[in-house]
């Protein structure tokens, strides 16, 4: 990714999401507060009527439902072509996955190499995959949290940008632990994008380099 400075134009971000969009909202709020030098140029969802699209409309951000068909768990084939066209049209420099419940495949990863980021509700490499907070409780770990990372071909295996931790309490349920992790997600995601927007976090030789 091209080196940026604090005086650079706003980082142009496109967001892909499948659900409520609370992490997307944390980015919208950070931009509005002037703490993140970025512009969200498009919000796209694979779920028709997803709340994340309502958030976009309330804030006047261009948004669209984009079908993921014919696949249920990945963006591939015709769907990948649709997404690539939409992302190119909105001029996105960085793609942000915010609760996007599909696997991003090779053409998207190649087109935006080192420029797709994701947030995962665990301290990776621990507990990749779905419902990480439930995995943490079953394992009996005393520390959970969230990770913002660049996306690669693996499942939650990309280079780590930032992590934030929370304790696992003796009386935690999956719901209470997940809620506490989400509080940290809403801090971590804007911070990670701030590092990228300011040119202080890039990917080089499959590693994150921070200035």
**The domain spanning residue 57 has which CATH number?**
3.40.50.170
Residue 132 lies in a domain: yes
Mean pLDDT, consecutive 10-residue stretches, the chain (211 aa), reads 63 97 97 97 97 97 95 94 97 96 94 96 95 95 97 92 97 97 98 91 61 57
6 is a domain residue: no
Q: What is the pLDDT of residue 16?
A: 98
Domain count, the chain: 1
CB 111 within 8 A of CB 85: no
* 41 belongs to a structural domain: yes
Q: Residue for token digits 């991003």?
A: 104
What is the Cα–Cα distance from 136 to 6, expressed in whole angstroms?
38
Domain-located, residue 208: no
> What is the value of pTM for the model shown?
0.91
- What was the pLDDT predicted at 203? 57
Would residue 107 count as lying in a domain? yes
pLDDT of residue 3: 52
pLDDT at residue 30, as a whole number: 97
Token pair of 209 as six digits: 């380099």
Would 110 be classed as within a structural domain? yes
Which residue among the candidates 120, 149, 178, 186 is catalytic per the annotation?
Answer: 120
- Is the CB of residue 8 less than 8 Å from the CB of residue 199? yes
Verify whether residue 186 is a known catalytic residue: no
Tell me the residue range of the domain where 105 lies: 11-201
- Asked if residue 3 belongs to a domain, the reply is no
Whether 1 is covered by a domain: the verdict is no
């Amino acid at each position: 990714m091209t080196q940026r400075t604090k005086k650079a134009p706003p980082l142009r971000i496109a967001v892909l999401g499948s659900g409520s969009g609370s992490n997307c909202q944390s980015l919208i709020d950070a931009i509005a507060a002037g703490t993140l030098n970025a512009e969200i140029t498009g919000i796209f969802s694979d779920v028709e009527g997803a709340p994340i699209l309502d958030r976009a409309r309330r804030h006047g951000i261009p948004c669209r439902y984009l079908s993921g068909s014919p696949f249920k768990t990945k963006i591939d084939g015709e769907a990948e072509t649709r997404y690539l066209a939409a992302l190119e049209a909105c001029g996105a420099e960085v793609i942000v996955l915010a609760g996007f419940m599909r696997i991003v495949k090779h053409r998207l990863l190649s087109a935006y190499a080192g420029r797709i980021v994701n947030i995962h509700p665990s301290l990776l490499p621990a507990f990749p995959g779905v419902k990480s907070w439930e995995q943490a409780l079953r394992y009996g770990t005393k520390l959970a949290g969230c990770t913002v990372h660049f996306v690669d071909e693996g499942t939650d295996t990309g280079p780590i940008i930032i992590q934030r931790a929370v304790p696992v309490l003796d009386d935690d349920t999956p719901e209470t632990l997940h809620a506490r992790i989400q509080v940290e997600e809403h801090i971590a995601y804007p911070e990670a994008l701030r590092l990228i927007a300011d040119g202080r976090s890039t990917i080089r030789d499959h590693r994150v380099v921070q200035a």
